[in-house]
Amino acid sequence: MDVGSKLRILADSAKYDVSCASSGAKRAGKDGALGSNSGCGICHSYTPDGRCVSLLKILLTNYCIYDCVFCVNRISSDVPRARFTPAEVVQLTLDFYRRNYIEGLFLSSGIIQSPDYTMEQLIAVARSLRSEHRFNGYIHLKTIPGASDLLLAEAGRWADRLSANIELPTAKDLATLAPEKDSTTIQNTMSSVREHIDEAEGTRNPKGRGYAPAGQSTQMVIGATATTDATILTTASRLYDGYKLKRVYYSAFSPIQHADPRLPAQAPPLLREHRLYQADWLMRFYEFSAADLTTAAEPNLDLSQDPKSTWALRNRWYFPIDVNTATREQLLRVPGLGYRNVQRILSVRRYHRLTMADLHKLKIITRRARPFVITDDSRPTARDLDGMDLAVRLVTPQQMQLFEANTTAITGEI
């Protein structure tokens, strides 16, 4: 099979792996080196400063010795198979870079022969790019659970980011849909990567590359089991705390060939994936806990509005708060106030007391924030907070369009 045919198959097979991003690593071009870290098989990610970058996103192979029910590349799946050699991936990456198609590589793989053998093949690609071709662009390698610690240590020498997929939210889910995989093995791999990162940070050489400087991430499939959003967010929170993950990626289950009775008949609404990302953002940057975002009575996120608005409506007693005296944590809870908005408020109020007009100048969505905040010229009444129409006022036209589009796609009606 020629390289072009392999690329079509293995780029398409890689689309189900969403755990790639270039955020967290910054490396300028340098003399004698190729590329910098700032189509078919090309995905787009974003750097911390908002730049969009392109990555060659492929699998080394879509052959796999495992039979995970939810995976299109499982051993029992009747899909076209292909396999790159490490040299072919290296040449593709260099060719694509020289044509200005990409700025980096995301490389994953099905498991072939053994975890160690597969990890060795992935490392061979990154090592060749770095040491033989002086490639200085971004590299994200998928780590293979069960691979030896020596191989994991070497992978981090060449890659900017590593990721081991947790696959599913709970050990029970994994035992049901991927019985050949073990959650303990996966988490041991994450733990090993974290230990290497901690060690490198403690002995960092300013002139060296460090170990996986962009950290590690993971991915979990959602909607393949009946697991609730509450459990999913609790698992994500535990992974962030336990392994210093940069990101948890959520991938909505996609129905594939040869439906299995253990799988749902249809995919979950994509809006659910979107709400989980919003909730995840609140946990990472807005000081919310997983327990804040759902309740025992409502263990799944509300699809009709964002999680922050849902929390505010459920906790109206918390409001209104005075933007001129409130703490950072209190301000982060207000619908309509973004992370940067809060930083601006804290900065500006040192010089003068804020009015509603000032909030508008700070690009705050005052229509959403007004019922929840006190300013020098505005104070909401109890009627404003207790009114039955408050929930409607919090939903933006964009949110309503997104909700209606998803509802129509799933049920055929609104």
The CATH number that applies at residue 32 is 3.20.20.70
For residues 37-59, average pLDDT: 62
Identify whether 291 is part of a domain. Answer: no
Residue 34 sits in the same domain as residue 88: yes
Number of domains present in the structure of the chain: 2
Residue 260 sits in the same domain as residue 316: no
At 143, the amino acid letter reads T
CB 105 within 8 A of CB 55: yes
Does residue 391 register a pLDDT over 80?
Answer: no
Identify whether 244 is part of a domain. Answer: yes
Find out whether the peptide bond into 307 is cis, omega within 30 degrees of 0.
no
- The pLDDT, as a whole number, for residue 255 is 78
Identify whether 187 is part of a domain. Answer: yes
Identify whether 131 is part of a domain. Answer: yes
Identify whether 283 is part of a domain. Answer: no
Does residue 193 register a pLDDT over 80?
Answer: yes
Domain boundary among 265, 299, 329: 265
How many Å apart are CA 334 and CA 323, to the nearest integer?
10
How many Å apart are CA 33 and CA 53, to the nearest integer?
19
Measured at the CA of 48, the angle between CA 47 and CA 51, to 5 degrees, comes to: 45
Identify whether 160 is part of a domain. Answer: yes
- pLDDT greater at residue 240 or residue 30: 240
Q: Which of 329, 287, 334 is nearest to 308 (CA)?
A: 334
pLDDT-derived band at 202 (thresholds 50, 70, 90) equals confident
Residues in Cβ contact with 40 at an 8 Å cutoff, skipping those fewer than 6 apart:
7, 8, 11
Does residue 208 register a pLDDT over 60?
Answer: no
Residue 109 structural domain: 3-265
Residue 250 sits in the same domain as residue 370: no
At 260, the amino acid letter reads D
Alpha helices in 203-228 (DSSP H): none
User: What 3-state class would DSSP assign to 163?
Assistant: strand
Residue 243 sits in the same domain as residue 340: no
Residue 189 sits in the same domain as residue 335: no
Does residue 388 register a pLDDT over 60?
Answer: no
Phi, psi of 203 (to 5 degrees): -130, 35
Does residue 87 register a pLDDT over 90?
Answer: yes
Residue 315 sits in the same domain as residue 238: no
Residue 163 sits in the same domain as residue 219: yes
User: What 3-state class would DSSP assign to 52?
Assistant: strand
Identify whether 274 is part of a domain. Answer: no
How many Å apart are CA 6 and CA 39, to the nearest integer?
15
Residue 144 sits in the same domain as residue 209: yes
- The pLDDT, as a whole number, for residue 19 is 57
pLDDT-derived band at 46 (thresholds 50, 70, 90) equals low
* Residue 389 CB-density burial (10 A; 0-12 exposed, 13-18 middle, 19+ buried): exposed
pLDDT-derived band at 54 (thresholds 50, 70, 90) equals confident
Does residue 91 register a pLDDT over 60?
Answer: yes
- pLDDT greater at residue 206 or residue 385: 385
For residues 133-152, average pLDDT: 95
The 10s digit of each residue's pLDDT in 117-138 is 999 999 999 999 999 999 998 9
For residues 34-57, average pLDDT: 59
At 171, the amino acid letter reads A
Residue 77 sits in the same domain as residue 198: yes
Identify whether 16 is part of a domain. Answer: yes
For residues 381-400, average pLDDT: 68
The 10s digit of each residue's pLDDT in 209-262 is 689 999 999 999 999 999 999 999 999 999 999 998 999 999 988 876 556 788
- The pLDDT, as a whole number, for residue 405 is 53
Quick one: what percent of the chain has pLDDT higher than 90?
Answer: 64
Domain boundary among 265, 292, 322: 265
How many Å apart are CA 60 and CA 384, to the nearest integer?
57
Domain boundary among 265, 296, 328: 265
pLDDT-derived band at 111 (thresholds 50, 70, 90) equals very high
| Average pLDDT of the chain to the nearest whole number | 85
The 10s digit of each residue's pLDDT in 257-266 is 556 788 888 8
The 10s digit of each residue's pLDDT in 309-348 is 999 999 999 999 999 999 999 999 999 999 999 999 999 9
Residue 246 sits in the same domain as residue 384: no
- The pLDDT, as a whole number, for residue 399 is 56
Q: What is the tally of helices (H) and strands (E) in the chain?
A: 17, 9
Residue 230 sits in the same domain as residue 322: no
At 123, the amino acid letter reads I
Residue 216 sits in the same domain as residue 316: no
- pLDDT greater at residue 374 or residue 18: 374
